[in-house]
Amino acid sequence: MKTPTALQALIDDGVIDEVLRPLKSGKEAAVYVVRSGDDVRCAKVYKDMAQRSFQQRVQYQEGRKVRGSREARAIGKASKYGRKQQETAWKNTEVDALYQLREAGVRVPEPHGYFHGVLVMELVTDADGFSAPRLGEVELTAEQAREFHTVLVRQVVRMLCCGLIHGDLSAYNVLVGPDGPVVIDFPQVVSATGNNAARRMLLRDVNNLTASLGRWAPELLDTWYGEEMWALFEAGALQPDTVLTGTFEHDERLADIDSVRDAINEARDEALIRQQGREAAALAD
């Protein structure tokens, strides 16, 4: 394969030695399997985004800190320079989050540096050494689903204790390694204290996981871990090792429980539609 320009710069600088193959490509980035000495890693090459895409990110960017007052003013004015700085900040967000979360013990790929707009990090593999599948692509037993749900809820708690919310967490942002699930893709990470939509995004993240894993263990659909952890977080009582029960007493005067349940059902339906789409695409190939 022809070496992408962004990765050739890393080869020239001695950061990596060889590009082995493409791993996946999405709207925001393309990921490649690369070799660095005796280690096989992955390199995430971020794509430049159009201004239209920036408008869709406003809900995620609220509360994020920008390095430098000039950059902050430029971003606020949406000037050409400001859009460039906004693009840079968007890319840096995932890098910063990975280092912070890894240090906090969250199950994320180990970062190995950020060079020329490319994030080099651990390649998560399965027990046979192949690229690990996504959680939404594997068959599970009820016991495995419950175990994975427990592990992933704990990762969400640890992220929240760092003041961060994934913001787009689903069974397709989780890889299944030999030691269990690993959370990936953080460019849309949300500030838990600086974003007005933080609670809603946290509940959506947890509901997405619950809906997907609830396919294999239906009793998970009757849990309320997102609401429980957010209430503890707001009260300043949430710790990385806080024991959660999955129960939550809603204030019937304020909460629309039917809407919450509808959101869970919608997340479950969306997960099923995504899976069916991937299966149809695989058959077409």
| Catalytic residue numbers, as ranges | 168, 185
Q: What are the C-alpha distances in Å from 118 to residues 4, 12, 76, 83, 141? A: 11, 14, 26, 19, 37
Torsion on CA atoms 17, 186, 150, 270, rounded to nearest 10 = -110
List the one residue out of 135, 228, 148, 229 whose CA is nearest residue 185: 135
Q: Are 226 and 202 in contact (CB under 8 A)?
A: yes
Q: What are the C-alpha distances in Å from 224 to residues 53, 143, 172, 206? A: 33, 19, 21, 9
Residue with tokens 């069916």: 276
SS3 call for 64: coil
CA 96, CA 100: separation in Å to the nearest integer? Answer: 6
